[in-house]
Amino acid sequence: MIKDKNIVLGVTGGIAAYKAVEIASRLRKVGAKVHVVMTKAATSFVTELTFREITGNPVTTTMWGEVANWNVEHIALAKLADLVLIAPATANVIAKAANGIADDMLTTMLLATKAPVYFAPAMNTNMLENPVTQENIRKLESLGWHQIEPDSGYLACGVSGAGRLPEPSAIVERIEDHFIDSDSMKGLKVLVTAAGTYEPIDPVRYIGNRSSGKMGYAVAEAARNRGAEVVLVSGPSALKPPAGVRIIKLESACDMRDAVLAEYPDTDIVIKAAAVADYRVRNVAENKIKKKDEELVLVLDKNPDILKELGQLKKPNQVLVGFAAETRNLMEYAQEKLQKKNLDMIVANDVSKPGAGFNTDTNLVKIITRDSDVKELPMMDKKRIAEVIVDMAKEKLQEKCRG
Ligand code: CTP
């Protein structure tokens, strides 16, 4: 839990520095102790006084100021920190940190701390996309720093593009996530399927669907954050798998079935977020099909229903969670799938609603349990929804284990 944790908030000199005030305020509201370190440039955007009032703690801006702590200040802060958050992180501070330059209070403290570091890059799109900046970001990530990826949108420099600091609420939620009970699912194996499947037509073409994998990847991350052993079975997706999960990448529904069945026997919770193609092409062409006729007929065979099979094989202490993506009769179809596939829970989402379903960052879902309880969530970020799903699945498992 984040309560009483010491968060060192590094504020650097970008226009988004004003948003750091709200970040500090929100962190304090959720019970964290916030210690702000500002770069000189940041003080041109927001005053030290603002942060002092908001956090109730002294604000550090220089190596040579009045001493608030008789231990060497940068070392004291570096040691005190349970987590360091740099928001906004300019290209300059990212470059310095990636190269071990320590020429002010913030960068010196960064070099001295062993605490986990989160950084939220915010800058002009060209600066962000510059290969030098990208390399620096990658270097920090490879060293274990956590990037809070910038949003796209209207930037202060008058253009639209990537580089906006995410909303303070989203940043604070990410930090809260870091402190969730990271042991609550220790010892449990969670199997997650994600993204759509590709069913080949010939060596260069396939039948697929619009699933990006965002929901399933978020579920895998939420289970990982709670200490579970996570296996992520994924169809093609552009997403980076969360660190620490075992990824099995494949393409077709039949391959997904084989992978899932092999992992199933010792799995405690299965969450099947994948959009599995219901049909596959009967005679996959060995060579690229050339266009010659006016009409091309593909014969499709029904794919195995993986989830249904899992439902049939389910042992008393296994929890099975399915998804139902519908464009009409949401509740009716979802209830039907819950029964037919012998599930413990189904996440029903109306993919016809704007902001819900495929390829969006948000989703609008109702979670239905076997005892017909319905939990209706508001439009939420997929990461938050993933947490609710994982927590509910864990509770279901506990109920089952209690008998
Ligand atoms: N599913 C599966 N194997 C399939 C099809 C679906 O495991 N061949 C799983 C999905 O991962 C999802 C759930 O079943 O968790 C429901 O998928 P959905 O496509 O909504 O439903 P279908 O069962 O395919 O039914 P329909 O296409 O008629 O809506």
What is the CA 378 to chain-centroid distance, rounded? 18
Task: Write out pLDDT tens, residues 131-156.
Answer: 999 999 999 988 889 999 999 888 77
Average pLDDT over residues 314-342: 96
Q: Which CATH class is domain 189-402?
A: alpha beta
Q: What residues does ligand 1 touch, defined as CB less than 6 Å away?
A: 193, 253, 272, 274, 276, 278, 303, 305-307, 322-325, 337
Residue 274 CA to ligand 1 center (angstroms) comes to: 8
Measured by CA distance, the residue closest to atom 27 of ligand 1 is 278
Q: Which of 215, 234, 323 to mutate to test the pocket of ligand 1 (most atoms within 8 A of CB)?
A: 323
Q: Please provide the DSSP assignment of 222-284 as one string.
A: HHHHTT-EEEEEE-S-SSPPPTTSEEEE--SHHHHHHHHHHHGGG-SEEEE--B--SEEESS-
Mean pLDDT taken over the chain: 93
Which residue's structure tokens are 């296994």? 318
pLDDT beyond 80 at 1:
yes
Residue with the smallest CA separation from ligand 1 atom 6 is: 276
Q: What is residue 270's predicted lDDT score, i.e. its pLDDT?
A: 98
CA of 316 to the centre of ligand 1 (A): 22
What pLDDT digit, counting tens, does each position of 335-373 carry? 999 999 999 999 999 888 887 777 788 889 999 999 888
Q: List phi, psi (to 5°) of 16.
A: -75, 0
Domain residue extents for the chain: 6-181, 189-402
> How many angstroms separate the alpha carbon of residue 276 from the centre of ligand 1?
6
Residue with token string 């019970």: 31
Domain 6-181 sits in CATH at 3.40.50.1950
Average pLDDT over residues 329-336: 95
Q: How far is the CA of 120 from the centre of ligand 1 (A)?
A: 37
- In the predicted structure, residue 64 carries a pLDDT above the cut 70: no
Please say whether the beta carbons of 304 and 276 come within 8 A. no
> Which residue type, as a one-letter code, is found at position 312?
Q
Does the pLDDT of residue 320 top 90, yes or no?
yes
The atom number, within ligand 1, closest to the CA of 323 reads 15
Q: Is the pLDDT of residue 65 over 70?
A: no
Please identify, by atom number, the ligand 1 atom nearest to the C-alpha of residue 304.
8
Residue with tokens 């007929």: 297
pTM > 0.75: yes or no: no
d(CA 399, ligand 1 centre) in Å: 26
What integer pLDDT is reported at residue 153 of this predicted model?
A: 82
d(CA 215, CA 385): 8
Ligand 1 atom with minimal separation from the 309 CA:
7
Q: Which of 1-5, 310-314, 384-388 has the highest mean pLDDT?
A: 310-314
Q: What is the distance, to the nearest Å, from the Cα of residue 81 to the centroid of all Cα atoms in its chain?
A: 24
Work out the average pLDDT over 116-129. 95
Tokens representing residue 288 in the block? 């690229």
- Torsion 128-133-137-140 (CA) sign: negative
Residue with the nearest Cα to atom 9 of ligand 1? 307
CB 274 within 8 A of CB 215: no
Q: How far apart are the first and last CA of the chain?
A: 29
pLDDT for the residue 393: 97
Catalytic-labelled residue, pool 157, 262, 300, 313: 157
Segment 369-388 shows an average pLDDT of 87
Same fold yes or no, 6-181 and 189-402: yes
Neighbours of 177 (CB within 10 A): 16
User: Percent of the chain at pLDDT above 90?
Assistant: 79
Band (pLDDT 50/70/90 cuts) for residue 72 is low
Active site residue 157: yes
